[in-house]
Homo-oligomer: A and B are copies of this chain.
C-alpha cells in the first residue's frame, strides 16, 4: 500500500499523462469498433448514407493515431519512463497502429458495398456478416482487455483467432463454389472475397493487440512463441 502510494506520488505527473493517453486510445478504440459494426451492418442493409459515415470516420481514426503517437513519444522524451511504465507506452504505440488498420478494413468493406449498391451481392453475405460479427466480438473483448490490462481475456481473444481462421477458410471455399458454378459472378464474388480477407485480418489485428497486453503485463514478447509455450508463461 505504502509502496503504491509512494510510486503514485513520484510519478503523479506521468500517471496523469498516461491516463489521458489511455482515455484517448479507448476513445479511438470505441470509434473504430462502431465503424466496424456499421460497415458490417451494410452487408445486409446497403445504405449510401452509412457508407459515407464509415468512410469519413477514417480521417478521424487517422487523426487519433497521429495524435496519440505524438503524445506517447513526447511522454517518453519528457518522463523517461522505465520498466512497466515504458512497456505500457510501447504497447499503446503498437496498439494504435493495429486499430488504425482495423479502421481501414471497415472502410474497405464500406467501399465494396458502395461498388455493388445497384447489384447487391447475394453470395455468402450471411457467412460474411457472421465472420464479421465474430471479429467485432474479438475487437470488443480485446479493447475491454486493454482497458483492464486483463491477461486472461487477452489470451482468450488470442485463441479465438484460430476459429476465425477456420471460419474464413470455409467461407473462401463457399465463395469459390459460387464462382465455379456461375463464372459471370466472378467480379462480384472477388469483391466479397476481398471483404472476407479484410475481416479475417481484423482478427489478426485483435490478436496483435492481445499480444501487446500480455507484453505489458508479463514483460514478455510472445509474438512468435508456440501456444503451449505461452500457456506455460501465463
Contacts and interface: CB of A to CB of B under 8 A. Distances in A.
Interface of A: 59, 62-63, 65-66, 69-70, 73, 76-77, 80-83, 86-87, 90, 93-94, 97, 172, 176, 179-180, 183-184, 186-187, 190, 193, 197, 221, 223-224
30 contacts: A59-B224, A62-B223, A62-B224, A63-B224, A65-B223, A65-B224, A66-B221, A69-B221, A70-B221, A73-B87, A73-B90, A76-B76, A76-B86, A77-B81, A77-B86, A90-B93, A94-B97, A97-B97, A172-B190, A176-B186, A176-B190, A179-B179, A179-B183, A179-B186, A180-B183, A180-B184, A180-B186, A183-B183, A190-B193, A197-B197
Q: Is the interface of A mostly helix, strand, loop or mixed?
A: helix
Q: How many copies does the complex hold?
A: 2
A184 to B, nearest CB: 8
A190 B196 CA distance: 14
Contacts of A62: 223-224
A77 B82 CA distance: 5
Contacts of A179: 179, 183, 186
Contacts of A193: 190
Nearest to A180: B183
Contacts of A176: 186-187, 190
